[in-house]
Structure 1
Amino acid sequence: MITSKQRSYLRSLANTIQPIFQIGKDGVEESFLSQVEDALEAREIIKISVLNNSGLTAREASDIICEELKCEGVQAIGNKLVLYRRSKKKPKIELP
């Protein structure tokens, strides 16, 4: 669990990054989850865009992904969501 101060710091980091994944009409599938897991291990913080035809809101998608991958949902605004998980091999982000 991250604190509100840490969440605020992560939001500031995510402000400048671009979404690297999109959730479309197929929703959240196993192959998508494995790609997100690899990206979280490599980058620690990622941004995902939810398309209008997906049938999910950003909050619902964030909850599903976080439950499956044991990561933290940092932010879900509009059609974008930000996820964070500390890397097991080489942590890059130092939380306050």
Structure 2
Amino acid sequence: MNLRGKQKRYLRAQANRMKPIFSIGKNGLNQQWLDEVNGALEKRELIKVNIQQSAGIDVPTARDFIINHSSINVVQTIGKTLLLFKRAQKPTHRHFSNEVEDI
């Protein structure tokens, strides 16, 4: 799903007070980490990920890895924090995607 500007703005507003629930540390990025993030996005649809100082990667590298290896949308990057969105498969877990589609 390609997000338009208004849709991204809505998601950023919804995530304003969220805390990061995942972090990227010294082990870096791998498929197992990405599978865990996908599982969390299936339940929440919108999460924040923090890149720790000990991580050997930067934000553009993390963003490119997520985009190239999954169907997750990177909505925004601020500092060392990424905002991720993915539409949930189960209708009962669609907290944000119904609103995003209407925008």
- State TM-score, norm by structure 2: 0.87
Count of equivalent residues: 96
Question: Can you give the 5+ residue segments of structure 1 that lack an aligned partner in the other structure?
Answer: none
- Show the counterpart of 1:51: 52
| Contact kept in structure 2, 1:24 and 1:54, CA below 8 Å | yes
Offset at residue 34 of structure 1 (A): 1.1
TM-score, normalised to structure 1's length?
0.93
Deviations 1:1-32 (A, max 9, x none): 00001001111111111100110111111221
Structure 1 Cα separation of the partners of residues 9 and 27 of structure 2: 31
Higher Cα radius of gyration: 2
Separation (CA, whole Å) in 2 of partners of 1:71 and 1:32: 13
Paired residue for 1:2? Answer: 3
Deviates more, 1:62-71 or 1:34-43: 62-71
| Structure 1 vs Structure 2 CA RMSD | 1.1
Shift of 1:58: 2.1
Q: CA deviation at 1:62?
A: 2.0
- 4+ residue runs over 2 A deviation: none
